[in-house]
Structure 1
Amino acid sequence: MTMRAVMLAGLATLLVAAAPDVVSAPGRPEAMVKLDEGRKPAAVLAQSLIGSGARVMDVMAGQGYYSELLARWVGPKGKVFAVEPVSYMDDPKTAAAWDALKKRNANVELIVGAPGEAAMPDKLDAAFYHLTYHDLYWQSEKFKYPRTDVDAYNARLFAALKPGGVVIIIDHYGVPGMDSRAQADKTHRIDADVVKADMARAGFRFAGSVPILEMTGDDPTKLVFDPSLRGKTNRFYYRFVKP
């Protein structure tokens, strides 16, 4: 085992010990806590290679499920930049959820805009995509979500990360070989090999997969919002590092 591998293993051990306190500490909305069983956030954070004091970008953050956990994880000396498309903030419930979340977590900054258009913070230690990387291939007039130039976006991401910075991508396994934009539109999934290829082109090094969110019984041809599958999809968890 290399010295780097030993160091990463030691870091993961330390993070495993800290993660349950981050997840179980009081103050999170009940609706978010109910999602923990399927999302396994303690284990996800423990394997993330994200440390205390880190500057983290949470992309397409929804109502802030992971933004809040990451804010607790990195601590008061860290910072979480949550990127949220403009149209999502038109929902009064989402806007109210963010107002409350920012009051609970002073180290969270909300950036409103689609990923390809929003300002990207610099000197990042990490970027986090929880079931949202496929959205870089999605576009929708109905939801006012513009087309993203994926390679140009990832080039910006590479420039924004510090050397040694980590990118965490968790997403739904899609159909291998299927066109990424068609798949994002039809099922909100992505071919996992496309993610690896995208990140390699941008200059990132693959730093391993974590199998904790892989599940049997999923049908990769089905929409992830199908009631029979929602919350039960087979998901990959990939880590990438900027050399």
Structure 2
Amino acid sequence: MYDQSKLSELIEFARIEAGSTVIDVYPGDGDWTRLFSDIVGREGRIYSFVPAEVAHFKNDPLGRMQALAKEPGRENVEAVSADLIAMPEVTQPADVLWLHLFYHDLHTALMQAKGATAADFNRAVYERLKPGGRYVIVDHAAAAGVGTSDAQSLHRIDPASVRREVEAAGFVLDAESTMLANKDDPHAIKVFDPAIKGETDRFAYRFVKP
């Protein structure tokens, strides 16, 4: 997670507020799910969506989110799982879909194992968001011009490629932020490398469904 000032800025950027319905895709340890749960309150709803493509992991990502949903005060959280592109079948129309450090995975063999592509997922997101809904993507930046070629090897993606793919699904770019940028990131090493882990150059986009 980020420091408090960055968290506040990201929440404002995503426009998550009391009463919102949010889909947190591949929630990991659940930190974002918990944060969003606190923000949206009793009138809001958080879907902690674990793609079936990763639900078999040894750390039991779905079980962890199911346990989180049972924590005191988490009545507004529902842990759900389905094939990646079947996400609309297990969630309700949402105000925000949050994708943190995951979009690049749409271009990896693991996430495409069942035939899903980034284009398929973006269409699923478009279907599930309400008119005016926000699709918020934060990810590790690759070097400009490399497209999606570093997604599997370095877990990075060219921001321009993300924008092209998401706009092709019908979304409109509403805002972008450099709050997580790092000009000293060489972009040529894996994001887990100790030399850059936790300090990668990251981009943030907010797209809107017209």
State the TM-score, normalizing by the size of structure 1. 0.76
* 1:152 alignment partner in structure 2: 120
CA distance in 2 between partners of 1:147 and 1:228 (Å): 34
Deviations 1:131-165 (A, max 9, x none): 1111111123xx99544222222112112111110
Find the residue that maps to 1:82 and give its secondary structure.
strand
Distance 1:37-1:93 versus aligned 2 partners, 3 A rule: farther
Q: Which has the larger radius of gyration?
A: 1
Conservation of the 8 A alpha-carbon contact between 1:206 and 1:241: yes
* 2:19 alignment partner in structure 1: 53
* 1:224 alignment partner in structure 2: 191
- Pick the structure with more helix per residue: 1
* 1:175 alignment partner in structure 2: 143
List gaps (5 residues or longer) in structure 2: none
CA distance in 2 between partners of 1:133 and 1:148 (Å): 13
State how 1:155-234 maps to structure 2 within 5 Å. Answer: 155-180=123-148, 182-234=149-201
Distance 1:50-1:208 versus aligned 2 partners, 3 A rule: same
* 2:108 alignment partner in structure 1: 138
- Pick the structure with more strand per residue: 2
Q: CA RMSD in A?
A: 2.3
CA distance in 1 between partners of 2:147 and 2:190 (Å): 15
Conservation of the 8 A alpha-carbon contact between 2:106 and 2:112: no
* 1:70 alignment partner in structure 2: 36
CA distance in 2 between partners of 1:146 and 1:97 (Å): 23
Code of the aligned partner of 2:156: R
* 1:235 alignment partner in structure 2: 202
Find the residue that maps to 1:36 and give its secondary structure.
coil
Code of the aligned partner of 1:174: A
Q: Number of residue pairs matched? A: 206
Find the residue that maps to 2:14 and give its secondary structure.
coil
List gaps (5 residues or longer) in structure 1: 1-34
Deviations 1:195-228 (A, max 9, x none): 1111111111111112211122112121111111
Distance 1:120-1:220 versus aligned 2 partners, 3 A rule: farther
Is residue 77 of structure 2 the alignment partner of residue 111 of structure 1? no
CA distance in 2 between partners of 1:183 and 1:75 (Å): 39
Conservation of the 8 A alpha-carbon contact between 1:56 and 1:128: yes
State the TM-score, normalizing by the size of structure 2. 0.87
Tell me the CA shift for residue 120 of structure 1: 4.9
